Amino acid sequence: MNLASRTPSRWRTRLRKHARWLVPLTCLVGLGPLVHAAIALGTSIPAPAVVLPGPSSTRAWVQDRAGITRVYLQGSPEGIGAAHGRLLRDRMLSEERELWFQYEEHVPWWIARVGIEDYSRLRFRHVDRGVPEPRRRELAAEASAFQPDPFAARMATYQRMMFLYALYDIALPLEHSPLIGCTSFAFDEGATADGHVLLARAFDFEAGDLLDRDKAVFLVREDGAIPFASVAWPGFVGAVTGMNAEGVVVVVHGALASESSGVRLALLVTNLPVLAASLGKVVFPFAPTALAVAADVSAWPGVLAAGGLIAGALLVPGVRGRVVCFGIAAFVALLAPVLAAPGTLLLDNRLYLPACGVLVALAELARAAAFAREKPVEPRLFVALSLVLVGVLAAVTAGYEGAFQDRRTFAREAVAGSPHSPLAHFCLGQSYQLDGDAEPAFAEYQASLALGPGEVVHNNLAVLYMAVARWADAERELRAELAMNPRYAKAFANLAIVLRREGRADEAREASEAARELEEP
């Protein structure tokens, strides 16, 4: 029998040998879309049947004046919802488009987004049960008036609007901040010159330029209900902050009460790109980084590495599949605690132990490829190739050693390797500040805050302002620091200095006492 006739037979033999692996793997890959479709169907939230009233039965208008949008809505719940959807449809489209853009930017991997969405569908499949029946009718009418809906392929209009109203509840388990909110304040009738109650909200949390700018004041008179005024975004009547005609004030902020296994599962799903990127850094360790965030490290090397490991385990003769599986399982298990933590950084030193599992899998593949064949590789050749690989890795390590020669070099390498990391920009800003370079330090701190909140950054900015006697700016930064980190004694001490400079001795004394209490062991 010639070679040409033996080759197909050899591949058929290998396929039969590995059928026990290929069949479950194929089923697993095909199971994902089926599970996703089943979740979408099984967790749908049907809209209540509503009849949209005619325009004559509802009074509604939109007015833009001095940069403020006022929206007046009067009528039945269905009339209010339908008028809202018609009058503000373009603004609602723009803001939802911005939300999806922000979501895709912060969760760049589609498989992670699908996992988050499926998790949210399951966990909040009964969210409508907590919504009063008139509000459900109002939302159903708004969804009907919103048609045609360009986002319907992502989720049905009514269910998506219900989820948008519940966005605080859905987002907080996936967001590690203990509190998401804005600066809010109120004055009762005794504190104002004309005896009126004043309520204000600054909308000063970061959520994109469009959401920062485009708010509306809603004036709502629902039939048979107490009239109220609220401040929110188009699409969210009665949400966020409001006051009714009886003087009852409601201000909504989001706080994370506790964490559950569901929260940890959601974090694991969110950090799947980190798992892939970590595998890529272990298998292809030719681009070390001082620190990085997932957005700056490609996950494709990890995907290729995973594909190579699976293909090698199935197709290389003599491979002990259980050894390869053990190695991969060890890698995932040792990395899982990191993946379950919010705000995960990609640090090379976190990969030392997980890398041992990958080395076990690679060593088994190398053993089978070299020695479990009809004509084994010469041991001397195997040793020579191993020494070449070790030499290459040593050269990469030596080449990167210079990144640790001083704090400025380390920080610059961190920013160059991960320009989207707030911590990297903070490190570079701090190195500039310690060396007396105020202007670049200020720029790096601002870049850090633009990428995400971080402790100590506001305090360090305040120190820069204090150096040039900009006391009001320094106070603003210190209060922002203490809002985020209320037990930071140094921020209280700096605030005491600022308040003393501003001639506010009593407040300065209180801040100084708070600093001393926190510094005591």
Kindly state whether residues 109 and 250 are assigned to the same domain. Answer: yes
**CA separation for the pair 66, 393 (Å, rounded):** 63
With bands split at pLDDT 50, 70 and 90, how would you rate the model's confidence at 491? very high
Q: Which residue has the higher pLDDT, 458 or 246?
A: 458
* pLDDT computed for residue 1 by the predictor: 43
Choosing from 390, 422, 455, the residue where a domain stops is 390
Secondary-structure percent of the chain, ordered helix, strand, coil, rounded to 5: 65, 10, 30
Average pLDDT value for residue range 438-449: 91
pLDDT digits (tens, 9 = 90+) for 319-356: 888 888 888 888 888 887 776 665 556 777 778 888 89
Kindly state whether residues 285 and 325 are assigned to the same domain. Answer: yes
Q: Structure tokens of 159?
A: 């269910």
Cβ pair 244, 227 in contact under 8 A: yes
* pLDDT value at 14 more than 90: no
* pLDDT computed for residue 274 by the predictor: 76
Kindly state whether residues 134 and 196 are assigned to the same domain. Answer: yes
Q: Is residue 207 part of a domain?
A: yes
Q: Alpha carbon of 84 to those of 61, 89, 152, 232, 288: distances in Å?
A: 9, 8, 18, 13, 53
Kindly state whether residues 295 and 413 are assigned to the same domain. Answer: no
Q: Which residue has the tokens 């030392």?
A: 352
Find the domain containing 459 and state its range: 407-519
Q: Is residue 490 part of a domain?
A: yes
Is there a cis peptide before residue 148, judged by omega within 30 degrees of 0?
A: yes
Kindly state whether residues 453 and 316 are assigned to the same domain. Answer: no
Q: Which residue has the higher pLDDT, 1 or 392?
A: 392
* pLDDT computed for residue 179 by the predictor: 61
Cβ pair 72, 61 in contact under 8 A: yes
* pLDDT value at 252 more than 80: no
Average pLDDT value for residue range 394-422: 84
Share of the chain above pLDDT 90, in %: 17
Q: Is residue 224 part of a domain?
A: yes
Average pLDDT value for residue range 172-198: 73
With bands split at pLDDT 50, 70 and 90, how would you rate the model's confidence at 8? low
Q: What is the CATH number of the domain that holds 461?
A: 1.25.40.10
Q: Structure tokens of 517?
A: 């209490």
Q: Which residue has the higher pLDDT, 234 or 239?
A: 234
Average pLDDT value for residue range 472-485: 88
Question: Residue 346 forms beta bridges with which residues?
Answer: 292
Kindly state whether residues 33 and 181 are assigned to the same domain. Answer: no
Q: Is residue 441 part of a domain?
A: yes
**Lowest mean per-residue pLDDT among 55-59, 148-152, 454-458:** 55-59
* pLDDT value at 17 more than 70: no
Quote the crossing angle between the two packed helices 457-467 and 422-434, to the nearest 10°: 30
Kindly state whether residues 418 and 383 are assigned to the same domain. Answer: no
Kindly state whether residues 250 and 288 are assigned to the same domain. Answer: no
Q: How many domains does the chain have?
A: 4
* pLDDT value at 3 more than 50: no
Average pLDDT value for residue range 142-149: 90
Average pLDDT value for residue range 103-119: 80
Choosing from 390, 423, 439, the residue where a domain stops is 390
Q: What mean pLDDT value characterizes the chain?
A: 81
Kindly state whether residues 201 and 78 are assigned to the same domain. Answer: yes
Q: Is residue 50 part of a domain?
A: no
Q: Structure tokens of 222?
A: 């629902």
With bands split at pLDDT 50, 70 and 90, how would you rate the model's confidence at 4? very low
Could you tell me which of 209, 198, 199, 206 has the C-alpha nearest to residue 240? 199
- 172: number of Cβ within 10 Å: 18
Q: Is residue 5 part of a domain?
A: no
**Lowest mean per-residue pLDDT among 100-104, 157-161, 505-509, 512-516:** 100-104
Q: Which helix (H) or strand (E) holds 230?
A: strand 228-232
Choosing from 362, 390, 418, the residue where a domain stops is 390
Could you tell me which of 447, 109, 108, 418 has the C-alpha nearest to residue 292? 418
* pLDDT value at 275 more than 80: no
Cβ pair 53, 76 in contact under 8 A: yes
The DSSP output letter for 88 is T
Kindly state whether residues 106 and 184 are assigned to the same domain. Answer: yes
Average pLDDT value for residue range 267-287: 75
Q: Is residue 237 part of a domain?
A: yes
Which of 19-28, 187-196, 226-235 shows the highest mean pLDDT? 226-235
Kindly state whether residues 497 and 452 are assigned to the same domain. Answer: yes
**CA separation for the pair 405, 399 (Å, rounded):** 12
59-65 β-sheet, strand order: 59-65, 68-75, 216-222, 228-232, 241-244, 249-251
Q: Is residue 462 part of a domain?
A: yes
* pLDDT value at 134 more than 70: yes
* pLDDT computed for residue 192 by the predictor: 81
With bands split at pLDDT 50, 70 and 90, how would you rate the model's confidence at 5? very low
Kindly state whether residues 293 and 149 are assigned to the same domain. Answer: no
